[in-house]
Amino acid sequence: MTREPQDLSKITSLTLAHYERNAEQFWESTRDHDVAQNIAALLDHIPGVPPFAILDFGCGPGRDLKQFADRGHKAIGLDGTLSFVEMARANSGCEVWHQDFLKLDLPEGAFDGVFANASLFHIPSQELPRVLGQLRATLKPGGVLFASNPRGDNREGWVASRYGVYHGLEAWRVYMMTAGFTELTHYYRPEGVPREQQPWLASVWRKPLL
């Protein structure tokens, strides 16, 4: 099904409104989440010598953005929820861009890594190839994209007042490879529990050097 511009606008506005209404609650419920495994998965695969230029795509209130900055990297956040942008600036001290995921304005070849933790699943599948192309373009040659999404059987639609796409590994691979990325690794989270108790699919991808 092809979604018209007004449908995409509604998806964005309602999903962002959900996060605006629940910004403080979201911060309190996620501020102590341990995503060290995900941060390491990105940083360990970036070639060259740090510090690196990192785009935290969907940075939320800035928990992970602060981690990158504390490690000495030049970290920039991006989020579509204005409350999160303001919180991330205050919590991390970093530059944070207020941008709609479907209306991105990104510099070309600017980043060594893109960290997309629990953000790309909000993008309708119709628009995902275009957005992945924009993220690829904002990476330097050889740059790395990390993505973590709630996994599923590729169903797409509303869960309460948030829109999401719940990708399986094979379908996600098709999107990423079609966008010109090479897979480096993938894993499921949280660690140390049976697969049925691992709702998150994490993957790491490289932009070719040429």
Tens digits of residue pLDDT in 63-91: 999 999 999 999 999 999 999 999 999 99
For position 210, what pLDDT does the model report?
A: 81
pLDDT of residue 186: 98
Is the confidence at residue 1, as pLDDT, over 80?
A: no
pLDDT digit string, tens, across residues 117-149? 999 999 999 999 999 999 999 999 999 999 999
Structure token digits, residue 65? 């953005």
Which of 127, 111, 101, 68 has its CA nearest to residue 206?
A: 111
Going by C-alpha positions, the residue among 95, 114, 131 that lies closest to residue 8 is 131
Which residues, 6+ apart, have CB-to-CB distance to 185 below 8 Å?
A: 41, 45, 203, 204
The residue extents of the domains of the chain are 5-206
**Residue 132 and residue 127: Cα distance in Å, rounded?**
9
pLDDT (mean) for 12-37: 96
Helix extents (H) in the chain:
5-21, 23-30, 36-43, 63-70, 82-92, 128-138, 169-178
pLDDT tens digits along 138-197: 999 999 999 999 999 999 999 989 999 999 999 999 999 999 999 999 999 999 999 999
How much is the average pLDDT of 36-61?
98
Q: What's residue 193's pLDDT?
A: 94
C-alpha angle with apex 88: 55 to 115, nearest 5 degrees? 25
Fold of 5-206: Rossmann fold (3.40.50)
For the segment 77-106, the average pLDDT, to the nearest whole number, is 98
What is the token pair recorded at 66?
Answer: 């602060």
